[in-house]
A and B are shown apart, each in its own frame.
Chain A
Amino acid sequence: MSISVLDALRPAKKPALLTLVLVIGLFVGAWVHGKYLSDRSPVQPIDFSHTIHTTDNEIPCQHCHIYADTTPVAGVPSVSKCIGCHKSLPDVREGPEILKLAAYWENREPIPWIKVHDVPDFVHFTHKRHIKAGLECQECHGSVETMDRVTRVVTIRMSWCVDCHTEKEVENGRDCWTCHK
């Protein structure tokens, strides 16, 4: 009669399987959270639609995000910039969302937009370099021009940055200190 290792392990089989199921559950949960539960599309203080501005009215991105090709920051338009158009064009003076904008302007208060794309503080990222390199805004931000509310289509992680740098053979693009600060 031989002694089977499997037999000896039999009492441990069920706890092992239970643990395996638990771990699989963990991954599933984290994935579900990342995909469906995290706020990739936060509700903004004003229900601003890029579709109306960019697709319907054909305003180019950098008309409002004026710093994108000259500074590290693309720049969210100033309140004066928004009200500038909305005051001078008669057919966009009314409407509940535009009145909200007017209220911010009246009180000289900035609009507290919620960040959709957030790069951690230890990362040096510059819009200027990427635009000068010929990237389209959509390559990172997705088709914002068709979004009524901006949704983040990518997960901003180091691997995502490095993959692109590798693929495009960016000069020193894989040196840590190109992006870390």
Chain B
Amino acid sequence: MSKISRRDLLQYIGAGGVGAVGGVLYGESVQRNVELLIPQVVPPDDYSPGVASWYNTVCNQCSAGCGISVRIREGKAKKIEGNPVHPVSQGRTCARGQAGLNALYNPDRIRTPLQNAGQRGSGSFEEISWGDALATVGSRLGRLKIENNASRVRLLTGRVRGRLDELFAQFMGLLGSDHYQQYDFTYPSALMAANKTSYGTDVLPYYDIKNATFVLSFGADYLGTWISPVHHSLAYGHLRHGQEGRRGKTVQIEPRMSLTGASADEWIPARPGTEGLLALGIAHALVSDGRYQGSDRDEWSTALAAFSPARVSAETEVSDDKISQLAREFGASAASLAIAGGAAAAGTNAVASVVAVNALNHIAGNLGKPGGVIFNSEQAFSSAAASRPAGHQGVLDLTEAMEAGDVEVLLVHDANPVYALPENVRFQQALQNVPLIVALSSFPDETTEMADLILPTNTYLESWGDDVPDPGVGFPVASISQPVVAPLYDTLSAGDIVLSLARQIGGELPIRMRWGTMEEFIRDRWREEYNKRESAGEAQEFEAFWQASLEAGVWGQPGADSGGNSVPSTSSTIASIANPVSMFAGGESDYPLVLHPYLTATFLDGRGANLPWLQELPDPMTSVVYGSWAELNPATAAEMGIKDGDVLEISSPTGTVRVPALTFPAIRPDVVAMPIGQGHKGYGRYAGDRGANPIHVVANQIDTQSGELAWAATRVKIKRTGEKLQIIKTDGVTRTLGRQILAPKNDHG
């Protein structure tokens, strides 16, 4: 063994030391951070750590009124599913419903009351306290009331139902203003008006798709956007394979294939604006071939005389044979059902078109029977059942009043008319004449940006409320909306804001509106309802009823007839048969294409655009994400030399939008379709500045009978700008190329 020199020894010690220090440092670096173990101060009764609990409430992403269950872990909402005992959703939800969590936890939520800190519309706001905000509004309203000028106060809301609607109405009534109106772009105005004509009721009937064997839809995208998509989807599944040995058939008539059209057995692209005419052609064939044997057969024959299949065929561009075939199938099916919606119910002929479709149901004897049109009672659950109209006429009146300087205070709740109205309604310009605009909203949007004062509201997952679904489900039913999490920020529910304002204003308001909170109000009303039904009505019993209703999220009487199911006579429908052809804004020579704006299953009328899960959800028909586009038939595009991604200038007689082109195989060559939903200017980071809003270029055409916006009655011209824009889509090859993807190989041939 050789000697180790002193120098070497020191080197070895040094190396060992450096190694040891390195080892300690390594150990330190991989050590996990100190984590805390935070106990509850006082645990809630139903608390179990690491175990989820579910709370039932009502979805507010559209007006269907689906019951939902929200999964809560440690006080945070984790997942939304359908409430299995709710008769509308039956445990299911759509994409929008589930994205409600993005609304609750949206980073762009308004967290405190804000007041305008600059030019109106500049978007600069400063925080103020709730006390100051409520005092400002309350004193202004109080003064107007004392001066007998309360009619200069207007309240505009989105589609609000149930007790919140009642509260709004009561508040405005006591204030002395009868100007409370709602606006919802998706509100089925024409359907309401036509049904009023045909059936004499304001309550939507129940369209029993579930038990139908032949569904003939004129433009109604009932699986994606029309009225109650989740409920209709459940029904559709049943129609297809719910019964042994029977598969229902669906036919869709629309100029551009919708989600529903894609699932239909037949897709018929009739000429836009002639859908009602086609219905009359089918009706004519039904009556003339002797299928209809009612006592009023002659009256029908006379009323339908002008609509022979030959004439209808020429105008609708649907062949004679096809019309006869549809009439045959419609008449011969065990349970046929005709429905109308979407663009077919948004022309200048909207009401006449829906009446024509109603006529089909009359003639085929589909009223009041399973698989047909079933009528709901107005008395399903108190007066709250009949919902308030939320159509276009109300906002036009409001705009006029604002222009005339008749509006001093405008309260806006949960509505975005600046986005969802055609530009030539000039709503935004009219807002400049209003001295005080107060917005009640959870999110900044194009309308809150114009406000002087923003009162931030709870989202629906943090609020009390109730709802009677419209249309109902054939028996009395009502849902309770309850907070599933504590409010995240310094916000109040819209109901609580109204109650606070009532206290601010004083006088008889706080006496008549005596409830401290919205929760108290809902309980009080449900107690009344309970007492009305159960004659005993002891407090103890109500408490049990209330707890049970809260737990279930819904109250209902399955089996009980809602009492509205008497079949209306045909006379008023016959009397209202008119030529249902839509008139378009813009001449055909200058504006060769028809603009077909359509609601999307993701954003609906644009309200879903601030939810990131929906922005990242590929469009069901095109797989496009994060943007908007204009769909053209490949033949039209080829003719004009347009390729995917070419930015087009789409001009209507009233405006222009710029948007990239996308060829789409299932659209008429004379139509250009654009999804509604993008093109926001101030709706948070996810809606961003992306895409274009087709509603803005829609001409302010009005349906002659209902006064509603004919949003599918505008012609446009398109021009290539020479620019290119990448359309982001997830689809690659969209043909199966003989591979075993959609069916076993031998089926492909």
Tell me, yes or no, whether A and B come into direct contact in the complex with CB atoms closer than 8 A. yes
A residues neighboring B (CB under 8 Å): 14, 17-19, 21-34, 37-39, 42, 67, 70-73, 75-80, 105, 108-115, 118, 120, 126
Report whether B27 and A30 are in contact in the complex, using a CB–CB cutoff of 8 Å. Answer: yes
Q: How far is the CA of A9 from the CA of B668 in the complex (A)?
A: 84
Report whether A14 and B23 are in contact in the complex, using a CB–CB cutoff of 8 Å. Answer: no
Q: Return chain A residues, CB-CB under 8 Å to B15.
A: 18-19, 21-22, 25
B1-43, CB < 8 A from A:
8, 11-12, 15-28, 31-32, 34-43
Stretch at the interface among B47-55, B369-377, B693-701: B47-55
Report whether A73 and B8 are in contact in the complex, using a CB–CB cutoff of 8 Å. Answer: no
A111: shortest Cβ distance to chain B, in Å?
Answer: 6
The residue that B22 contacts in the complex, of A29, A67, A70, with Cβ under 8 A, is: A29
Report whether B23 and A75 are in contact in the complex, using a CB–CB cutoff of 8 Å. Answer: no
Q: Return chain A residues, CB-CB under 8 Å to B27.
A: 29-30, 33-34, 37-38
Q: How far is the CA of A27 from the CA of B25 in the complex (A)?
A: 11
Report whether B39 and A25 are in contact in the complex, using a CB–CB cutoff of 8 Å. Answer: no
Q: How far is the CA of A30 from the CA of B22 in the complex (A)?
A: 8
Q: Return chain A residues, CB-CB under 8 Å to B51.
A: 71-72
Report whether B23 and A32 are in contact in the complex, using a CB–CB cutoff of 8 Å. Answer: yes
Report whether B49 and A71 are in contact in the complex, using a CB–CB cutoff of 8 Å. Answer: yes
Minimum CB distance partner of B49 in chain A: A73
Give per-residue flags for B687-706: 1 if the beta carbon is below 8 A from chain A beta carbons, else 0. Answer: 00000000000000000000
Additional A-B contacts beyond A25-B22, A111-B38, A113-B36 (8; CB < 8 A): A21-B15, A23-B19, A26-B19, A28-B16, A32-B24, A33-B23, A73-B50, A110-B38
Q: Return chain A residues, CB-CB under 8 Å to B12.
A: 17-18, 21
Q: How far is the CA of A18 from the CA of B21 in the complex (A)?
A: 15
Report whether A25 and B49 are in contact in the complex, using a CB–CB cutoff of 8 Å. Answer: no
Q: Return chain A residues, CB-CB under 8 Å to B25.
A: 29
Report whether B16 and A25 are in contact in the complex, using a CB–CB cutoff of 8 Å. Answer: yes
B120: shortest Cβ distance to chain A, in Å?
Answer: 44
Minimum CB distance partner of B42 in chain A: A80
Report whether B23 and A28 are in contact in the complex, using a CB–CB cutoff of 8 Å. Answer: yes
The residue that A72 contacts in the complex, of B23, B38, B50, with Cβ under 8 A, is: B50
Q: Return chain B residues, CB-CB under 8 Å to A73.
A: 49-50
Report whether B24 and A30 are in contact in the complex, using a CB–CB cutoff of 8 Å. Answer: yes
Q: Return chain A residues, CB-CB under 8 Å to B26.
A: 26, 29-30, 33
Report whether A24 and B16 are in contact in the complex, using a CB–CB cutoff of 8 Å. Answer: yes
Report whether A110 and B48 are in contact in the complex, using a CB–CB cutoff of 8 Å. Answer: no
The residue that B39 contacts in the complex, of A21, A30, A77, A126, with Cβ under 8 A, is: A77
Q: Return chain B residues, CB-CB under 8 Å to A33.
A: 23-24, 26-28
Q: How many cross-chain pairs have Cβ atoms below 8 Å apart between A and B?
A: 126
Q: Would you list 22 pairs from A and B whose C-beta atoms are within 8 A, ordered by A residue?
A: A14-B8, A22-B16, A23-B19, A25-B20, A25-B21, A25-B22, A28-B20, A29-B20, A29-B25, A30-B26, A33-B24, A42-B34, A72-B49, A73-B49, A78-B41, A79-B39, A79-B42, A80-B42, A80-B43, A108-B41, A110-B41, A111-B39
* A21 touching B19 in the complex, CB below 8 Å, given contacts A30-B24, A79-B40: yes
The 7 closest A-B pairs by CB, nearest first: A25-B19, A29-B23, A33-B27, A29-B20, A72-B50, A30-B23, A73-B49
Q: How far is the CA of A72 from the CA of B51 in the complex (A)?
A: 8
B538: shortest Cβ distance to chain A, in Å?
Answer: 34
Q: Return chain B residues, CB-CB under 8 Å to A32.
A: 20, 23-24
Report whether B38 and A112 are in contact in the complex, using a CB–CB cutoff of 8 Å. Answer: yes
Minimum CB distance partner of A107 in chain B: B41
Report whether A115 and B19 are in contact in the complex, using a CB–CB cutoff of 8 Å. Answer: no
Report whether A78 and B22 are in contact in the complex, using a CB–CB cutoff of 8 Å. Answer: no
Minimum CB distance partner of A77 in chain B: B39
Q: How far is the CA of A175 from the CA of B646 in the complex (A)?
A: 53
Q: How far is the CA of A85 from the CA of B194 in the complex (A)?
A: 71
Q: Return chain A residues, CB-CB under 8 Å to B48.
A: 67, 70-71
* A114 touching B34 in the complex, CB below 8 Å, given contacts A29-B27, A77-B39, A80-B43: yes
Minimum CB distance partner of A23 in chain B: B19
Q: Return chain A residues, CB-CB under 8 Å to B42.
A: 78-80
Q: How far is the CA of A133 from the CA of B78 in the complex (A)?
A: 30
* A78 touching B50 in the complex, CB below 8 Å, given contacts A38-B31, A113-B38: no
Minimum CB distance partner of B50 in chain A: A72
Report whether A80 and B41 are in contact in the complex, using a CB–CB cutoff of 8 Å. Answer: yes
Q: Return chain A residues, CB-CB under 8 Å to B31.
A: 38
The residue that B36 contacts in the complex, of A14, A27, A114, with Cβ under 8 A, is: A114
Report whether A75 and B49 are in contact in the complex, using a CB–CB cutoff of 8 Å. Answer: yes
Report whether A29 and B19 are in contact in the complex, using a CB–CB cutoff of 8 Å. Answer: yes
B487-527, CB < 8 A from A:
none
* A26 touching B22 in the complex, CB below 8 Å, given contacts A18-B15, A110-B38, A110-B40: yes
Q: How far is the CA of A126 from the CA of B51 in the complex (A)?
A: 11
Q: Return chain B residues, CB-CB under 8 Å to A70.
A: 48
Which interface residue of B15, B36, B37, B49 has the most chain A CB atoms within 10 A?
B37
* A22 touching B19 in the complex, CB below 8 Å, given contacts A29-B26, A30-B24: yes
Minimum CB distance partner of B19 in chain A: A25
* A29 touching B21 in the complex, CB below 8 Å, given contacts A14-B8, A72-B50, A75-B49: yes
Q: How far is the CA of A114 from the CA of B665 in the complex (A)?
A: 62
Q: Return chain A residues, CB-CB under 8 Å to B28.
A: 33, 37
Minimum CB distance partner of B38 in chain A: A110
Q: How far is the CA of A24 from the CA of B22 in the complex (A)?
A: 11
Q: Return chain B residues, CB-CB under 8 Å to A72.
A: 49-51
B612: shortest Cβ distance to chain A, in Å?
Answer: 23
* A110 touching B34 in the complex, CB below 8 Å, given contacts A22-B18, A25-B19: no
Q: How far is the CA of A22 from the CA of B35 in the complex (A)?
A: 33
Q: Return chain A residues, CB-CB under 8 Å to B24.
A: 29-30, 32-33, 37
B42-86, CB < 8 A from A:
42-43, 48-51
The residue that B17 contacts in the complex, of A25, A39, A109, with Cβ under 8 A, is: A25
A6: shortest Cβ distance to chain B, in Å?
Answer: 14
Minimum CB distance partner of B11 in chain A: A18
* A26 touching B38 in the complex, CB below 8 Å, given contacts A17-B12, A21-B15: no
Minimum CB distance partner of B20 in chain A: A29
Q: Return chain A residues, CB-CB under 8 Å to B49.
A: 67, 71-73, 75
Q: How far is the CA of A105 from the CA of B35 in the complex (A)?
A: 22
Q: How far is the CA of A113 from the CA of B37 in the complex (A)?
A: 5
Q: How far is the CA of A18 from the CA of B7 in the complex (A)?
A: 13
A21: shortest Cβ distance to chain B, in Å?
Answer: 5
Q: How far is the CA of A77 from the CA of B21 in the complex (A)?
A: 40
Q: How far is the CA of A33 from the CA of B27 in the complex (A)?
A: 6
Minimum CB distance partner of B8 in chain A: A14
Q: Return chain A residues, CB-CB under 8 Å to B36.
A: 112-115
* A114 touching B39 in the complex, CB below 8 Å, given contacts A25-B16, A26-B23: no
Q: How far is the CA of A73 from the CA of B35 in the complex (A)?
A: 15
B20: shortest Cβ distance to chain A, in Å?
Answer: 4
Q: How far is the CA of A114 from the CA of B34 in the complex (A)?
A: 7
* A78 touching B19 in the complex, CB below 8 Å, given contacts A26-B26, A115-B34: no
Q: Return chain B residues, CB-CB under 8 Å to A80.
A: 40-43
Minimum CB distance partner of B27 in chain A: A33
A158: shortest Cβ distance to chain B, in Å?
Answer: 15
B367: shortest Cβ distance to chain A, in Å?
Answer: 55
Q: How far is the CA of A115 from the CA of B32 in the complex (A)?
A: 11
Q: Return chain B residues, CB-CB under 8 Å to A77.
A: 39
Q: Return chain B residues, CB-CB under 8 Å to A110.
A: 38-41
Minimum CB distance partner of B17 in chain A: A25
Q: Return chain A residues, CB-CB under 8 Å to B23.
A: 25-33
